Amino acid sequence: MSAQTSTTTGYDHSNLHHVVITATCFAFLLSTVSVVLRIVSRKINGTGLFIDDYFIIGALFFLYGITIAGIVLMYNGLGTHLVYVSSEHLVVYMKTLFTGSILYTCCIACIKLSILTLYRRLFPTKSMLVAVNIVGAIVVLWCFGACLISTVTCIPLHKLWEPTVPGGCIDLPKFYYGLQGPNIITDAVILIMPMKIVWDLPISRVQKSLLSGIFVVGFLTLIFDIIRLIALIQLANSGDDATYNEVPSSVWTCIEPAVGITAACLSNMRPLFTIVYRRLGGDRTAGPSEEKMKRRQSGSPTANSEAASDETQV
């Protein structure tokens, strides 16, 4: 597919590269700052990293892959009208798009598993453990299934970037519904899972409201899930100018997991919130006591439970 001039196509040679660059930079910075502050909070609190921290670090690296894929897509046609994209660039574009879909799925799965393992650590009740195990299994199966189906989007797979090859491709709107449906449902379930336990904690109503508010920040991720699904469906029905029309769905593919990572990190930043509160003239006795810090560093049996208790207070 050779590039054509604007006089023969009716297009002006505008592009949406600035939108792609803004979205990828925003996603990169927001997610990186959130994870760094989470790790700093662990150091302030005198604890090491937990399994939920490793999951969120994994999600961050997958997000880096998504942002790199976004830049590669931009240099190979994303945001540019299809008629200006050469056949060589289009092949790279479609291969990168395929890789990006798998990176996105793995990133979202790591975010969900990070939140679930945090629940398991902070709220080790029987009902919560059962719920975490069930939802966690669903997330893992969803991730595996979505990645598997992505590899058979077209049969043979290279028909995805070589459309003249004999074969067939799946119905994209149905694929998007199947991919995003479980994603949206599990996000909603994960959001409401800790609410009852939080409101049963022996802390003030203000603290309960603040803590619930932090969890509910994840509601933004749920909204972005739905917006991304709408963008994908619109893309599937938007005509042949795929590289130009792909921009909205690509933008949400970057922003959604970045906001998800941030939401997953907020509830772990209590030590930083305490420092800010002190600087603003609040109670200087807030935060972990020196005695607690020593017990955590010595590895006493009550260390983890106290750390969990501190993290569930804002």
Q: Per-residue confidence at 296, pLDDT binned at 50, 70, 90?
A: very low
Domain range enclosing 199: 15-269
Please check the confidence at residue 12 and state whether its pLDDT lies above 60.
Answer: no
Q: Nearest-CA neighbor of 294 among 283, 284, 302, 286?
A: 302
Residue 32 inside a domain? The answer is: yes
Q: How many domains does the chain have?
A: 1
Compute the distance between CA of residue 258 and CA of residue 64 in angstroms, rounded to an integer. 10
Say if 77 falls within a structural domain. yes
Residue 84: inside a domain: yes
Cβ-count burial of 223 within 10 angstroms (0-12 exposed, 13-18 middle, 19+ buried)?
Answer: middle
Whether 143 is in a domain gets the answer yes
Amino acid 67: pLDDT = 96
Three-state DSSP class for residue 169: strand
CA distance to 46, 89, 94, per residue, from 181 (Å):
40, 32, 24
Decide if pLDDT at 10 tops 80. Answer: no
Q: At 43, is the secondary structure helix, strand, or coil? A: helix
pLDDT, residue 1, reads 44
Q: Is 81 in contact with 9 (CB distance < 8 Å)?
A: yes
Question: Average model confidence (pLDDT) for the chain?
Answer: 82
Of the two residues 35 and 169, the one the predictor is more confident about is 35
**More confident: 209 or 7:** 209
* Residue (of 166, 44, 41, 148) closest to 105 by Cα position: 148
pLDDT computed for residue 237 by the predictor = 78
C-alpha–C-alpha distance, residues 111 and 261, integer Å: 6
Q: Which of 106, 113, 102, 101 is CA-nearest to residue 54?
A: 113
What pLDDT does 283 receive?
54
Q: Distance (Å, rounded) from C-alpha 233 to C-alpha 255?
A: 18
In this predicted structure, what is the pLDDT of residue 199?
Answer: 75
Contact of 212 with 197, CB cutoff 8 Å? no
- The pLDDT value recorded for residue 11 is 52
- Tell me if 176 sits within 8 A of 232, measured CB to CB: yes
Q: Give a yes or no: residue 306 inside a domain.
A: no
Residue 257 sits in a domain whose CATH number is 1.20.1070
Residue 255, C-beta contacts closer than 8 angstroms, at least 6 positions apart: 23, 26, 27, 224
Residue 262 within a domain: yes
Give the model's pLDDT for residue 250.
92
Q: For residue 4, tell me if it sits in a domain.
A: no
Cα 17 to chain centroid, rounded: 22
| Segment 101-136, tens digit of pLDDT | 999 999 999 999 999 999 998 888 899 999 999 999
Q: Which stretch of DSSP H or E encloses residue 168?
A: strand 168-169
Domain annotation covers residue 302: no
- Helices 51-75, 17-45: axis angle to 10 degrees equals 160
Place of tokens 């502050």: 37
Cα 281 to Cα 274, 276, 277, 284, 286: the distances in Å are 11, 9, 7, 8, 11
pTM of the predicted structure, to 2 decimals: 0.83
pLDDT tens-digit series, residues 214-227 = 666 678 788 888 88
Residue of 58, 52, 109, 106 lying closest to 265 (CA atoms): 52
